Amino acid sequence: MAIEVFAPAKINLTLHVTGQRDDGYHLLDSLVVFADVGDTVRVTSADRLSLDIDGPEAGGLDAEPDNLVLRAARLLAPDRGAAITLTKRLPVASGIGGGSADAAAGLRALAQLWDMSLPEPEQALSLGADVPVCLSAMPRRMSGIGERLNPVPPLPAMDILLVNPRVAVSTPTIFRTLAEKNNPPMERDLPRWRDLPDFAGWLANQRNDLALPAIAQQPVITEVIDALSEAGALFAGMSGSGATCFGLFSPDHPPAEPVLRRRHPDWWCARGRVL
Ligand code: C5P
């Protein structure tokens, strides 16, 4: 039996860093969405646990024992076997979930293969702060260090253009170099957005507190955000600790990626729908 689970890209539309715990992890308040652009995890029964990685972005990753998909498998059942194939389409270390999305998809696929229940959010959190939200794969307001997940008001239909300038960013370094850790959260009750322009206007008053330290490390991020705005995005920002940026477009907006691809053939670029 083969089971295939899609691992959608995770996008932090907002990311407010509101404090730091004694163990060094940061408290967040983030509006997280997912796109129909992502990796795929396929599992089949086998005696031993194994991982193969293919796909256009496979080069950025090794099937080492500490690969998050293998760690997810061992968290679920330390001694069980499965042949796992990860098809990697999202750039590695790029702020759109990648490893966490793969771990969450791996948990789903293997729980089905092995007829087990999914781990509790606290257990999933041990794989990475973004794994619980990736398990939900739905728009969520994420807080704590990633373990508190709340529903959000309905989002308008929108397309998303993801662009990575092909620079890797180290998440721990970005958090470490963040000057101010105690920033205000989003408002207590999120508004009911009327439409995409209304939502984009609201986003323009929110923040990604990791953008400044990320831009200090990789100034090209500003260029990506400007390129997305010039391409007609109603709102453009950076996801997670970068360097992937996103632009939000009305679903009937003509495709913006051909121009971007022509101007920046070296950048990674993918258009999808917000799920
Ligand atoms: O949990 P994950 O392995 O994805 O996080 C990578 C690194 O990012 C952590 O080791 C930590 O340095 C930083 N981080 C943080 N606070 C968070 C999430 C991540 O400080 N809420």
Tell me which fold the domain 2-148 belongs to.
Answer: Ribosomal Protein S5; domain 2 (3.30.230)
Looking at residue 65, what is its pLDDT? 77
Residue 269 has pLDDT above 80, yes or no: yes
Please tell me the distance between residue 80's alpha carbon and the centre of ligand 1 in angstroms: 28
CB of 114 sitting under 6 A from ligand 1: no
Please tell me the distance between residue 173's alpha carbon and the centre of ligand 1 in angstroms: 10
Ligand 1 atom closest to 144 (CA) = 21
CATH code of the domain made up of 153-273: 3.30.70.890
Answer yes or no: is 97 a known binding residue. yes
pLDDT tens digits, 28-42: 999 999 999 999 999
Residue 181 annotated in active site: no
Q: Which of 39, 102, 130, 159 is catalytic?
A: 130
CB of 128 sitting under 6 A from ligand 1: yes
Domain ranges of the chain: 2-148, 153-273
Looking at residue 62, what is its pLDDT? 79
Cα separation, 24 vs 41, in Å, equals 31
Ligand 1 atom 8, closest CA: 172
Answer yes or no: is 163 a known binding residue. no
Looking at residue 168, what is its pLDDT? 87
pLDDT tens digits, 177-214: 999 999 999 999 999 999 999 999 999 999 999 999 99
Please tell me the distance between residue 46's alpha carbon and the centre of ligand 1 in angstroms: 33
Taking residues 80-102, report their average pLDDT.
94
CB of 175 sitting under 6 A from ligand 1: yes
pLDDT tens digits, 237-255: 999 999 999 999 999 999 8
93 cis-preceded (ω within 30 degrees of 0) = no
Ligand 1 atom 3, closest CA: 128
Residue 63 has pLDDT above 80, yes or no: no
Looking at residue 81, what is its pLDDT? 97
pLDDT tens digits, 133-165: 999 999 999 999 999 999 999 999 999 999 999
b/e code 192-227 from CB counts within 10 Å (16+ = b)? ebeebeebbebbeebbbbbbbbbbebbebbebbbeb
Looking at residue 1, what is its pLDDT? 83
pLDDT grade for 22, boundaries at 50, 70 and 90: very high
Taking residues 210-236, report their average pLDDT.
97
Answer yes or no: is 239 a known binding residue. no
Nearest to 176 by CA among 207, 224, 214, 138: 214
Query: Residue 72, Cα to own-chain centre: how many angstroms?
Result: 17
